[in-house]
Amino acid sequence: MSAAGSADEFAAYCQVWRQRVEQKLSDYTTYGDDCPSHLAAAIRHSLLAPAKRLRPLLVLMACEACGYDAEAALPAACAVEFIHTYSLIHDDLPAMDNDELRRGLPTCHVAYGEATAILAGDALLAQAFELIAKDIQPPAVAARCVLELAVAAGAGNLVGGQQDDLHPEHLAQNLAGLERIHRRKTGAMIEVSLRLGGLIAGVNTEQLQSLDKYGQCLGLAFQIVDDLLDLQGDESKMGKKTRKDSDAGKLTYPGLIGEDASRERATSLIAQARQAVAVFAPRAAHLEALARYVLERNH
């Protein structure tokens, strides 16, 4: 198959699963009368806005790469998107990044008010664990998935990374300090997405380690590309303001090691990610294609 054909096939594959994820996200946030309509609207405004759905796709692709039916992992795929969206809502708040645009739409606090935005994030965080506990089988696997997701979203990972990102002056102003932020703020949710897919598929320890390595490399490469796009990206394609991080003096890869070295590091990390999942060949084809997409994306 030609490279163009492979890219087209991968795009079609992603589109099918994105549509399945979008439908489930909508179903899960069709609330009853007990949920105030203003809160429900705020949740759906942020959750259902146009998005790449990278983390849900990673859950599904990991499950598939391990030889299992990806459909069984859909609740977990939605759960990671719930947590990712909650983190974006809170990141955008005036007390944190004070952003006004997300996914091409007004941020949640701009559209619905700061208090409701906080509550929308709280609701998404809680419901993420409900989805897994209720809809992942068997119960022992659901319990393991809840544990893994809680650790990834907690003080030592996602939330800790957010805190360090707010106060980078507390960290060493070098590559180790920068990657301390991003291995947790960005990388932890990417890694756990892969782990959830693997756990639902019943992988062994060695296979889980391969998924972990892929996730670690992919997560750092994703952040490097994000930093480069913050400098060079098209705001209309990005769906958010550009140059915010660099203008705010935050630690970024281009700011620390330069743009050329950043691109080289991202390329090396993606090569390592692809090598890590070679053990799953030929079922790793979609994970390999996703790694290439992360490197080549323009939004």
- % of the chain surpassing 90 pLDDT: 79
Domain range enclosing 106: 3-296
**pLDDT at site 171:** 81
| DSSP-assigned letters across all residues of 193-255 | HHHHHHHHHT--HHHHHHHHHHHHHHHHHHHHHHHHHHHH--HHHHTS-SSHHHHTT---HHH
Query: pTM of this prediction?
Result: 0.92
pLDDT above 50 (res 4): no
**pLDDT at site 251:** 80
Calpha distance 220→223 (Å, rounded): 5
Q: The domain that contains 28 carries what CATH number?
A: 1.10.600.10
Q: What average pLDDT is seen over the chain?
A: 92
Report, as an integer, the average pLDDT of 23-45: 98
Residue 225 contacts residue 294 (beta carbons within 8 Å): yes
Residues 6 or more apart whose CB falls under 8 angstroms from that of 113 comprise none
Report, as an integer, the average pLDDT of 253-282: 95
Calpha distance 291→274 (Å, rounded): 7
Find residue 106's DSSP bridge partners: 101
Is the pLDDT higher at 81 or at 3?
A: 81
- The total of structural domains in the chain comes to 1
> Using N-to-C axis directions, what is the helix angle for 158-166 and 187-201, rounded to 10°?
170
Calpha distance 257→147 (Å, rounded): 36
Sign, CA torsion 233/238/242/246: negative
The per-residue pLDDT for range 187-245, each reduced to its tens digit, is 999 999 999 999 999 999 999 999 999 999 999 999 999 999 988 756 655 455 655 66
